[in-house]
Structure 1
Amino acid sequence: MSTVDSRRLVQKLWNYCDVLRDDGVSTIDYVEQLTYLLFLKMADERANRKLRPEQIVPSELSWQTLLDAEGDALEVQYRHILTGLAREGGTLGTIFRKAQNKIQDPAKLKRLIVDLIDKEEWSGTGVDVKGDAYEELLAKGAEDAKSGAGQYFTPRALTAAMVDCMLPTPDDTITDPACGTGGFLLAAFDYIQRQHGSSLTPDQRRRLAAGAITGTELVDGTARLAAMNMLLHGIGTPNGPSLITVADALGREPSRRVSLVLANPPFGRSSSIRMVGEGGKASREEREIERADFWATTANKQLNFVQHIASLLEIDGRAAVVLPDNVLFEGGAGEVIRRRLLNQYDLHTMLRLPTGIFYAGGVKANVLFFERKRAREQPWTEKLWVYDFRTNQHFTLKQNPLRREHLQDFVDCYLPGKDRSERVETERFKAFAYEELIARDKVNLDITWLKDASLEDADALLPPQVIAQEIVEDLQAALREFAAIAEALGAQTSAAGDE
């Protein structure tokens, strides 16, 4: 099946989403229902194949029972399947955890089962096509701002560029502690397949498919999308252990260290959980979690993810993490964490991202690249190389979307796999010595040097629609911040009332 066939399949499934939307089924709900049904169809194909047939689900919960049922009996059987498989362990349990039927019209459910899914041979199309089709469907869901799916989605162009810089290998252990739908994990797996596929040993193939690539996701619905996405791409097995853990990654110290972390933790500064690190106890909120491996106590989720990811890495392990601007300049715990990161880790590169590339409007973010090192007296960070891809760069999700080629100059400057002593400064790529960084007020890493052309030259002003869009995005970001403050104040008030 070709790329054209993959797109045809996506469009076929997507068109039906419009039909169900009239019944109140959201985009993300629709993709979830597809997840359940695709799994059952693929399990049926495995059970009926000529070579090595495999029974993954009990016959009374099989795809065939859906094909045989009609009317109200179909809806009853579908609910019976969802509740039955939710009790299973491993990948089955992750995919069907808290599963519910959101398609209340039996006739429309029947059409989805018979006309849209049963007519395709999903196991026979090859993992690339069926996986890509599913991933495209997730991307379409992310484009639908009303669905809320975009909050789990990192632009593919950025994901690809980060992976190209990190050069994942068959011997890496790779994780994403806030994996969303699994985009970083799939990109790393795809890179390894493309670069090392012909030379992979049987042991390496088994390792990659069953444990070397894992993720953690807090939201049940998103975790099931990630588990299914990975399964469709050939990572993991339907009746094997789940490679996606449904949990709050910040809630406990890592049970194992990894060699590579790729992540875009959820944006938003508020948290009902206040982490307690080396600094000792903090003011009481809803719940406190003691993490002896953390450097500082803070309720800022992004700063806690920085500490968690730093703790996740084994010696010489490396990380590439998307983080909002406040991580670069926030005082208090933020300063403590930046000092520790510069001293105990090699924080060697930062990519300043433009606005307009995320589905959440008004986000100003960066990618931090760092490596864990063995303890020593002198700081590990000698130079922080900053690439300014923000100044005089303007993107939108539809009219001018970010593409992989837009990031090629950064990747070229990064010199993946080469000694960083060979790097060369350019207009957008500058190096800052450790002594210079540590001397900055509060170790502020929010570093700029390029002039904004629109401020220097009236002729360079952006088109009115772009300016208007940026104002809207900034207002949206401000509203989210105010909402987070209000939520935190409400939590504190409740806590005080309980005392």
Structure 2
Amino acid sequence: MLTGEVRNKVDKIWSDLWAGGISNPLTVIEQLTYLMFIRSLDEKELENESFEALSGEKMPKIFPEDEEGQELRWSKFKTKDARIIYDIVGTKVFPFIKAMNGANTTAFSRYMQDAMFLVPTPQVLQKMITGLDELYEHDIKNLDMQGDLYEYMLGKLASAGQNGQFRTPKHIRDLMVDLIAPTPNDKIVDPACGTAGFLVSSAEYIREKYEAEMTSEQWEHFSGEMFSGYDTDRTMLRLSAMNLMLHSISQPHIDYVDSVSRQNNTASAYDIVLANPPFTGTVDAESINENLRTITDTKKTELLFVALFLRILRKGGRCACIVPDGVLFGSTKAHKSLRKELVENHQLQAVISMPSGVFKPYAGVSTAILLFTKTDAGGTDKVWFYDMKADGYSLDDKRSPIAANDIPDIIARYHNLEGEADRQPTEPSFLVDKSAIEANDYDLSINRYKEVVYEKVEYDKPEVIMTRLDELSLDISSKMEELRGLLGE
């Protein structure tokens, strides 16, 4: 999470752009992100050069090795005169990053084609470069900077939280990835990818677990086919493409697709779905794909997306997704039919109830994580419920780090469900039989099954309490008389 000092520095850069004449917050975000990306390319090149020097192994180059190519690097132009920097970035660096992948088949080059360099003056650009450099070098080392910075900046948009464009916190994404445990052979998709956070978390997990043993074919799969994402916002697609490229995923399938519409007919294509779909609106009934409405006849996006996940997964494919609590207990026919589909026709493994502060300061809605496997043949026997009370951060708008954190316990228990067999509904986690869920109209709210134990408190009889009060009163009176005697001496 960003500290107050870092936020102040970001605000300063933001106000410089604002004062320079860029009043659209999304344009500010885009211009800052382009500069962050330009700097990150140079950082990656410096890493490659360092590795090459140590190992003697030839590494691929991002920038041309001639003098003109080298002046495109952040470390080479950042100390020059403001007017020279402006000329280099506007006329050389920007065209370079727009065309750096060459062929128009890559996600990055496709969605960068209509990107525009809109920093108004050399002075504003210099302030942005100096400000970002200071952030990177002094404040935000070893953090998921692009995401955290973008999340903070997105909070300035009037539409944040209204159109669902707020970012899932990294520790929640990492939790979901850890629970779903992707492998180097899986195909992973996020049909509402935003800045590609879930895909990046998946890539980090696979690198951490399997890097030493991955084959060349698996690495090739990793750099492209493994990761797919859809969104309906070209700005998000550009940010996704940049983010993924910086995580060695150079050829992801990032596409402009309205996931729940008729234009998306993808089916049985993926092994894993990881998503936090928009759940604040409805879509035009005419545009909804009919095969989603056979599962849940609704215009509510939160229900349609879960139906979509079932359709795009292969048989045996797994999903971890975030849903608002209403999906768990909603009483409409559409809500019930979706829950029945998950429980009866597929294998619902877990419902993890999260505290309502997880998405603050952008939204205070209560949410849950659903984990299920597509089977088309049932398989739900018992469903694991977990009542998460803390995620390592305060649940107010500040979201400050705290000691209380259920996430390690959730991961350990989910990967050992046999050990949960004897847990009681009075405990934070427990298993519920499918028959009980069926009897409760497929209600998946943890409060339906959780039992609260009330501690019995024994009180003395009223006359005993009154006698005790009388004794206390006499004692106080005697002490007061004693005090008066002392004062009179």
Assess same fold via TM > 0.5: yes
For 1:429-440, list aligned pairs within 5 A.
429-440=429-440
Cα separation, partners in 2 of 1:131 and 1:341, compared to 1, 3 Å: same
1:94 and 1:244 in contact (8 A); partners too: no
Give CA-to-partner distance per residue, 1:292-318, whole Å, 9 cap, x none: 785232101011100100112112211
Match of 1:243 among 233, 253, 270: 253
Q: Indicate yes or no: 2:428 matched with 1:428.
A: yes
Partner of 2:460: none
SS state of the match for residue 189, structure 2?
strand
Give the CA deviation at 1:356.
1.3
Distance in 2 separating the partners of 1:317 and 1:452? 36
Give the direction of change, closer, same or farther, for the CA distance of 1:399–1:46 in structure 2 (3 Å limit): closer
Aligned residues: 424
Structure index of larger Rg: 2
CA–CA separation in structure 2 for the residues paired with 1:103 and 1:337: 48
Q: Residues 147 and 129 from structure 1, CA distance in 2 versus in 1: closer, same or farther, beyond 3 angstroms?
A: farther
For the residues of structure 2 that align with 1:299 and 1:292, how far apart are their CA atoms?
10
1:34 maps to what in 2? Answer: 32
Letter in 1 for 2:108: L
The correspondence for 2:178, drawn from 152, 158, 164, is 164
- Structure possessing the higher relative contact order (Cα contacts under 8 Å, 6 or more residues apart): 1
- The residue that corresponds to 1:20 in the other structure is 17
- The correspondence of residues 47-446 of structure 1 with structure 2, limited to 5 A, is 52-53=60-61, 63=72, 77=91, 81=95, 85=99, 88-112=104-128, 115=130, 132-142=144-154, 144=156, 148=160, 151-236=165-250, 241-251=251-261, 252-254=264-266, 257-272=269-284, 274=285, 285=286, 287-291=287-291, 294-330=294-330, 331-359=332-360, 360-373=362-375, 375-376=376-377, 379-389=378-388, 395-398=395-398, 400=400, 405-414=405-414, 416=415, 418=416, 420=418, 423-426=421-424, 427-441=427-441, 443-446=442-445
Task: Write the distance in 1 (CA, Å) between the matches of 2:232 and 2:334.
Answer: 24
Q: CA deviation at 1:52?
A: 4.5
Check the 8 A contact 1:328/1:445 in 2, yes or no. yes
Mapped to 2, the partners of 1:229 and 1:211 lie a distance apart of: 16
TM-score by length of 1: 0.70
2:384 touches 2:432 (CA, 8 Å); kept in 1? Answer: yes
Change (3 A) 1:346 1:402: farther
Deviation of 1:10 (Å): 9.9
Q: Offset of 1:132 from its aligned partner? A: 3.4
- Identity percentage over the alignment? 25
1: CA distance between counterparts of 2:201 and 2:274? 10
Shift of 1:8: 11
Alpha-carbon displacement from aligned partner over 1:405-431 (angstroms, at most 9, x marks no partner): 3322222321x2x45475442512132
Amino acid at match of 1:405: N
Contact 2:187 2:272 in 1 (8 A): yes
In 2: Cα distance, 1:384 partner to 1:51 partner? 49
Structure 1 regions of 5+ residues with no counterpart?
A: 1-6, 123-127, 275-284, 458-499
Residue identity opposite 2:188 in structure 1: I
Once the two structures are superposed, what CA deviation does each residue of 1:427-476 show, in whole Å capped at 9, x if it has no partner? 121322112211224x222230558899x99xxxxxxxxxxxxxxxxxxx
> CA 1:33–1:403 in 2, change beyond 3 Å: closer, same or farther?
farther
Task: State whether residues 151 and 266 of structure 1, in contact with CA within 8 Å, keep that contact through their aligned partners in structure 2.
Answer: yes
Deviation of 1:80 (Å): 8.4
The letter of the residue matching 1:365 is: T
Preserved CA contact (<8 Å) 2:228 2:254: yes
1:84-109 CA-to-partner distances (Å, cap 9, x unmatched) read 75994423334415423442234312
Change (3 A) 1:318 1:423: farther
**Secondary structure in structure 2 of the residue aligned to 1:367:** strand
For 1:303 and 1:130, how far apart are their aligned partners in 2? 37
Q: Which amino acid aligns with 2:239?
A: L
Q: Which runs of 5+ in 2 are unaligned?
A: 50-57, 458-489
SS in 1 for 2:358: coil
User: How far has the Cα of 1:29 moved from its partner?
Assistant: 3.2
Query: How far is the alpha carbon of 1:388 from its aligned partner?
Result: 1.9
Gap change, CA 1:53 and 1:394, over 3 Å in 2: closer
Inter-CA distance 78–326: structure 2 relative to 1 (3 Å threshold): farther
Distance 1:304 1:259, change over 3 A: same
Q: Is the 8 A contact 2:389 2:406 kept in 1?
A: no
Q: Distance in 2 between matches of 1:79 and 1:109?
A: 13
Contact 1:95–1:225 under 8 Å retained in 2: no
Partners of 1:439 and 1:263 in 2: CA distance: 29
| AA at the equivalent of 2:246 | L
**What secondary structure sits across from 1:151 in the alignment?**
coil
Q: 1:19 & 1:171 partners in 2: Cα distance? A: 46
Contact 2:329/2:445 (8 A) holds in 1: yes
Q: TM-score, normalised by structure 2?
A: 0.71
Q: 1:268 to 1:302 in 2, by over 3 A?
A: same
On the 8 A contact 2:25/2:157 being kept in 1, the answer is no
Q: Distance in 1 between matches of 2:294 and 2:60?
A: 49
Q: State the one-letter code of the partner of 1:134.
A: Q
Cα 1:307–1:383, aligned 2, differ >3 Å: closer, same or farther? Answer: same
Distance (whole Å) between structure 1 residues aligned to residue 235 and residue 135 of structure 2: 25
